[in-house]
Chain A
């Protein structure tokens, strides 16, 4: 297990190094101007020289993303679970939620910015919207995945809805819920950044927006490198938690 993991990490690092090498080679080899593609070394230097500013911006964005992520995940999972307990309103709620969420989240940004202002609240709401839908879908699919024979079996032993949910449905749904949680990590940070670009007081999206306007391409790329690193960290942590949980379940 550990040997395999470390091999995977090594290969991942190798892949990243190959890409960075290719990037540096293209940018330097073709001596591309910074407004087309700045060299990776310049970008990394840019990250280092602006580390305080970028760190603060990343913390701001991460706070928005995390808050929205938790709220959205709770709402999405909660709603899906509630629907399993109340199948009567399922048709109504699924229709309404699907309609609301079939509109791309970015399309709501004008309204959300109008309603919640350009501060923290609008980003949290946007992230929560994006995350809740993913988790609602994943959870619902996971809860439905249960083998009907097992349900019939448990029912014949007199198990109620709650027992069915806790003993059968939730454990079966867990892998899909966790996959949804993992995919949403990256989405949450992107949505926060995109919303920041449309209006904000700070954060990585704001830094990128400012840098684009000031034609500072190294800074644009630096901010994106930091954003990627933050997303990866988030993704990795949730992935780790996922493996722990699934492992626990399997044993």
Chain B
């Protein structure tokens, strides 16, 4: 399979793509049927697990609320993800160049990641208000660190002989960075970016817990505290849809950009 794909990119690759989509759809359908069937067969009480059909009906009853929540959370996630990814890579490059900065700041970054933002709801509102930006900032905060860690590993893994070779041809540090180091670090960076895709969504959702009216986080919280299990699942499903879609998009870009190395 992999050999064929590598040898003849166009045709079989498209077929492979179609097959992957097929597998995914089949998986989803199987899970959906298993869900509905098991709940019915085992007579699971709806307070633990409601039927899928009941959950879907709840979404269809107020589609506007879920749609606007989806869009709002998506926007926050995207802003946080893009900003976090860019900042993460930039910091990794800075750390690579400036060892002193790295030694002084890296531990502080680690510390910053140990702080649960949820404890500072009031501070977040105070500093960033009740804006969309406040949520994006939290998404950013959760996103950038894994990207920095992985990008740095990737950057450092570049063979020094290759760098020496490029230098001997008169390449500037900028050229070395753009042509050699960053491309070599891409596979590692994308591993973190895929993780960051779900982390930025976490940030957006938790951010919406600081007093907001729209968003999937609001819907989750609302459902959790009114103990409306069907609504919890409805919000979960929409989050899953958003999360899977976003993750798939990042993975798609990864496949386009990182076509070497992987043996899959």
Note whether A and B contact each other (Cβ less than 8 A): yes
Q: Tell me the bound Cα distance from A104 to B236 in angstroms.
A: 9
The B-contacting residues of A in range 84-105, CB under 8 angstroms, are 91-92, 95-96, 98-105
Q: In the complex the two chains form, is B23's CB within 8 Å of A95's CB?
A: yes
Residues on A with C-beta less than 8 A from B113 are: 186, 190, 231
Q: In the complex the two chains form, is B247's CB within 8 Å of A190's CB?
A: no
B56 at the interface (CB under 8 A from A): no
Q: In the complex the two chains form, is A224's CB within 8 Å of B146's CB?
A: no
Chain B interface SS verdict (over half): helix
B149 at the interface (CB under 8 A from A): yes
Q: Tell me the bound Cα distance from A115 to B106 in angstroms.
A: 39
Which of A39-47, A50-58, A67-75, A140-148 makes up part of the contact surface? A140-148
The A-contacting residues of B in range 128-155, CB under 8 angstroms, are 145-146, 149-150, 153
Residues on A with C-beta less than 8 A from B194 are: 137
Residues on A with C-beta less than 8 A from B2 are: 148
Task: For chain A, give the interface size range.
Answer: 35 or more
Interface residues in chain B, defined as those with a beta carbon under 8 Å from any beta carbon in chain A: 2, 6, 20, 23-24, 27-28, 31, 47-48, 100, 103-108, 110-111, 113-116, 118-119, 121-123, 126, 145-146, 149-150, 153, 157, 187-188, 191, 194-195, 197-199, 201-202, 205-206, 216, 220, 223-224, 229, 232-233, 235-236, 239-240, 242-244, 246-248, 261-264
Known: A36-B123, A101-B198. 20 other contacts (CB 8 A): A11-B100, A12-B106, A15-B107, A19-B108, A95-B24, A99-B31, A102-B201, A102-B243, A114-B229, A141-B187, A175-B153, A183-B195, A194-B116, A194-B206, A223-B119, A224-B115, A224-B119, A228-B114, A232-B111, A232-B114
